[in-house]
Structure 1
Amino acid sequence: MTETASPAASSRTKYRSAHAELLELLEDLAVGDALPAERTLAARLGVSRMTLRRAVDELVRDGRLVRRQGAGTFVAAPKISASLHVSSFSEDMRRRGHVPRSRTVELDEIFAGPQLGRRLDVSPSARVLRVVRLRLADDAPMAIETLHVPLELVPGLTGGDLADASFYELLSTRYGIVLARGLQEIEPTVTDERESGLLEVPLHSPAFLFERTSWDQAGRTVEFVRSVYRGDRYRLTAELLPDTPATGSLGSTGSRA
């Protein structure tokens, strides 16, 4: 007696086949290329449009494809992988073979106020330099970084100084400040209207929110930074090491700064 595959098993087989063929198709396409129309592509792969949508949806979730409303589905740029360790954005990008750039969007002096004063361990009446920068990799916007630093630590710092420059390098070479450690918290978020415009993504796109506080070798609080990173272009990685040889339990190497 010949066994007949169940409808569910047949559907899974067609889905896996469509997914595999789509991956092969992506190998022949460049970043920014559009997928063929859904009807055409379903016929080419020999599957229903519903099965094709499932396969495309998974590739969108994996960051291999990106949908643009009213335009179609396109090959996405590869995600940039960033490890969780102490380094600047510029150093991170160069180490991965990308060209980092920065554009100063806003720069002003503000009073710390109660909340920021606690973050920076300064009086609420202390003056703080607030700098909003758009961080780019290979000319593509990657993150919006809002830096807060006590004004007395960086006298004379301008937006031009920070254009295409590492803030940490400036701290070290101009002000003699070397960061010793940082504490960073990361959580998922979505972009608001302003962030979406600067990052060139649709409103409410997935993103990572970084909040980082850093201290120098003397224990002074040097910075509080709030950064929003594009979720479709950024991947976090962490090396896990045993806490102790005896237990073998794993812990992260630390925070990226």
Structure 2
Amino acid sequence: SEFLRVVSFTDDMQKQRYNVYSKVLKFEVVSPKKEVAKSLKINVNDKVFRLNRIRFANDIPMAIQDSYIIYGYCPTLSDYDFSTESLYRTLENVFNLKLSYANNILEARLTTKEEIKVFNIKKPIPVFILNQTTFLETGKPIEFVRSIHRSDKYKFFNIAVGREIKK
């Protein structure tokens, strides 16, 4: 995945010619937990959509994503089927929201018992945990997402541009 452009899982996998779909585990309106509210710069009493999905590429479970989207930007988001639709394409094309940039924190750890089941694997493997806050053109956050990617099937790549010259 590229860090300098906001790339959706769907776009990333389709570019590699994978058939992409999701299993939606939860899609609900909730009050955000502290960490989510802080990332989105909102109050814990505000409303967010929580979209929890298992992401598949060619029938292989590749990632578990837990997305929190500020309700006020897209109050009819629950009308859409995110087992087949791309969240980012829907935000951009239906709600006319311009996703401009994202802050990413990448960590690594071993799979939990639950993740071993979801990924349909026999024993623990390393996973990448990506915590991302996605921002609009206005500089306001719209989404916080925690993605758990299996390291045996998913590669992150980063394009770095230039360097700040210190004098």
- CA change 1:113–1:90 in 2 (3 A) is closer
2:13 aligns with one of 65, 88, 93: 93
Name the one with the larger helix percent.
1
Q: What are the Cα deviations for residues 188-245 of structure 1, in whole angstroms up to 9, with x where unaligned?
A: 111112222111123532110000001101222100000000111112222344426x
Supply the distance in 2 between the matched residues of 1:86 and 1:127 (Cα, whole angstroms): 24
When structure 1 is superposed on structure 2, of 109-118 and 229-238 the one drifting more is 109-118
- Tell me the equivalent position of 1:147: 67
1:98-141 residue CA offsets vs partner (Å, 9 max, x unmatched) = 12111211122221243321111111110111111111111111
Alpha-carbon distance in structure 1 between the residues aligned to 2:122 and 2:140: 39
1:30-69 map, 5 Å: none
Percent identity of paired positions between Structure 1 and Structure 2: 24
- State the partner residue of 1:179: 99
Counterpart of 2:113 (choices 171, 193, 196) is 193
2:163 aligns with 243
Tell me the distance in 2 between the aligned counterparts of 1:115 and 1:101.
28
Seen in structure 2, the aligned counterparts of structure 1 residues 220 and 83 have a Cα distance that, compared at 3 Å, is closer
Cα displacement (A) at 1:159: 7.7
* 2:134 aligned residue: 214
CA distance in 2, matches of 1:183, 1:208: 16
Contact persistence 1:113–1:125 (CA under 8 A): no
Larger radius of gyration: 1
More relative contact order, 1 or 2 (CA 8 Å, 6+ apart)? 2
For the residues of structure 1 that align with 2:22 and 2:79, how far apart are their CA atoms? 10
Runs of 5+ in structure 1 lacking a partner?
Answer: 1-81, 248-257
In 2, are the aligned partners of 1:192 and 1:203 still within 8 Å (CA)? no
**Residue 155 and residue 206 in structure 1: after superposition, are their counterparts in 2 closer, same or farther (change >3 A)?**
same
Contact kept? 2:99, 2:134, Cα under 8 Å: yes
Shift of 1:97: 1.6
CA contact (8 A) 2:51 2:68 kept: yes
In the alignment, the residues of structure 2 paired with residue 141 and residue 124 of structure 1 have an alpha-carbon distance, to the nearest angstrom, of 32
Q: Is the 8 A contact 1:104 1:159 kept in 2?
A: no
**Tell me, what secondary structure is at the counterpart of 2:77?**
coil
CA distance in 2, matches of 1:183, 1:109: 24
Letter in 2 for 1:225: V
CA RMSD of aligned residues (A): 1.9
1:161 paired to 2:78: no
In structure 2, do the counterparts of structure 1 residues 181 and 116 end up closer, same or farther at CA, with 3 Å as the change threshold?
same
Would the aligned equivalents of 1:186 and 1:208 in 2 still touch at CA under 8 Å?
yes
Q: How does 1:62-141 map to 2 (within 5 A)?
A: 82-84=1-3, 85-141=5-61
- Provide Cα deviations, 1:78-111, integer angstroms capped at 9, x if missing partner: xxxx343421111111111212111211122221
Q: How many residues align?
A: 165
Measured in 2, the distance between the counterparts of 1:212 and 1:125 equals: 21
* Higher relative strand content: 2
